[in-house]
Amino acid sequence: MPKLSVAVERFPIAGTFAISRGVKTEAVVIVATLEGEGARGRGECVPYARYGESVERALADVETARAALEAGAGRDALQALLAPGAARNALDCALWDFEAKRSGRRVHEIAGLPAPRAVSTAFTLSVGTPEDMATAARRAAARPLLKVKLAGEGDEARLAAVRAAAPAATLIVDANEAWAPHDLERRLEACARAGVALVEQPLPAGRDEALARIARPVPVCADESVHARAGLAALRERYDAVNLKLDKTGGLTEMLACARDARALGFDLFVGCMVASSLAMAPALLVAGEARYVDLDGPLLLARDRPEGLVYEGSQILPAPPALWG
């Protein structure tokens, strides 16, 4: 039977990462490792305060599943042991990796999926002054897809500055719940004028019903409003796409099921991430090949990644090497 070990690791961010809720200078992650029978499987998660998570709470949640996992419980049992969230994600991805290492097969084979292929990721621009965002956009202007963090007041000027600095890039914007219903249509029209391809989570989760009452000139994607399959159907009239993240779904097992159900409901897929190392990105690459948009740039935002991390060729992410995961 496998033995479980858990570690908290810290990765400095290159500069800062700023969204409407605040600024980060490091990524704090939890790594779960299962070892036994000559194999070792790992999974990485990022507890997120917006969802009521903390490192301490996630570690405690992991401990509630320890005995079952060390007695041989698998992925299906884990879904019942823990709710969707960061702790379950680390354990679920560790179970997938452990099975792959123990069996000598890749995770995509075990899951009955096509082999992962190289995909193109968005590159995120932190929110700031229009001048600062324009400077960042000029540095990244050669990248095909830029994700622009917005914050409400002053967003039109920020967006105009980014568009002028990166005229050839496709832009998606992420308001992180910072807009209000009374200015929703005005802000969406500004996005349409700037040629924005997608707007992510403009209104607060649970207070986004206005999206169903307006003509949306730009497709809108749910992020904070959706975590796992249970919430999908209720959002169909409000959103055109859903952002699937391992830390929200609670691992690859639920992410695969959520992607299947989202496609059946007619949503476009967006595969996203928290700011974390390559170990946290690797499982999401199994779904990224099916997504309209991919935002797995977490390692690109770090001052350093894992030595066995993913290979990024510009904005292209190559499939994960077995030494990393899967």
The catalytic site residues sit at 149, 245
The letter for the amino acid at 262 is A
Neighbours of 182 (CB within 10 A): 8
Which two tokens mark 85? Answer: 């969230």
Beta strand ranges found along the chain (DSSP E): 3-19, 22-36, 39-45, 119-120, 123-125, 145-149, 170-174, 198-200, 220-222, 241-244, 268-271, 293-294, 312-313, 316-317
> How many Å apart are CA 176 and CA 19, to the nearest integer?
7
Contacts of 33 (CB under 8 A, 6+ apart): 4, 5, 6, 7, 40, 41, 42, 94
239 DSSP assignment? -
Tell me the helices (H) and strands (E) count for the chain, helix number first. Answer: 11, 14
21 contacts 50 by C-beta, under 8 angstroms: yes
126 contacts 151 by C-beta, under 8 angstroms: no
**Greatest Cα-to-Cα distance within the chain, rounded to the nearest angstrom:** 59
> How many Å apart are CA 276 and CA 269, to the nearest integer?
21
Kindly give the pairing relationship between strand 39-45 and strand 241-244: unpaired
Which two tokens mark 23? Answer: 């600024």
